[in-house]
Amino acid sequence: MPNDELWFEESGDELRDDEYPEESDDDTTETVACPHCGAEIYEDAVRCSVCENYITPGANANSHRPLWWILLGLAGVLAALLALSGFLAR
């Protein structure tokens, strides 16, 4: 065999120059600075690998709730507790 690496190929099966896959930039991923600690993190990261803070907006459960909504919920819980304590006191 003239070439041991290509022993399975038939003559004419070689790739032409225009058939080779193009080089792509998939290996380079963009990084940005963490807004909390400044460490370099991937731009699509959800949490910083250094300080463990969430990067994406809305990752915190209460971050999208307005303050009045939270206060209204706490008032409802308080009213329910007062109603139950008055009901049980009888």
Q: Is residue 4 part of a domain?
A: no
DSSP state of 17: G
The pLDDT tens digits of the residues spanning 23-77 come to 665 556 788 888 889 899 888 888 888 998 888 765 555 566 788 888 999 999 9
Q: Is residue 8 part of a domain?
A: no
- pLDDT score for 1: 47
Is there a single domain that holds both residue 72 and residue 85? yes
Is there a single domain that holds both residue 90 and residue 66? yes
Assess whether pLDDT exceeds 50 at residue 11: yes
Q: Is residue 42 part of a domain?
A: yes
Q: Is residue 48 part of a domain?
A: yes
CA nearest 33: which of 64, 55, 60?
A: 55
> Domain span at residue 47?
28-59
pTM for the model? 0.34
Q: Which string of DSSP letters, residue by residue, matches 45-82?
A: -SB-TTT--B-STT-STTTTS-HHHHHHHHHHHHHHHH
| 57/84 Cα distance (integer angstroms) | 38
- pLDDT score for 86: 81
Q: Is residue 73 part of a domain?
A: yes
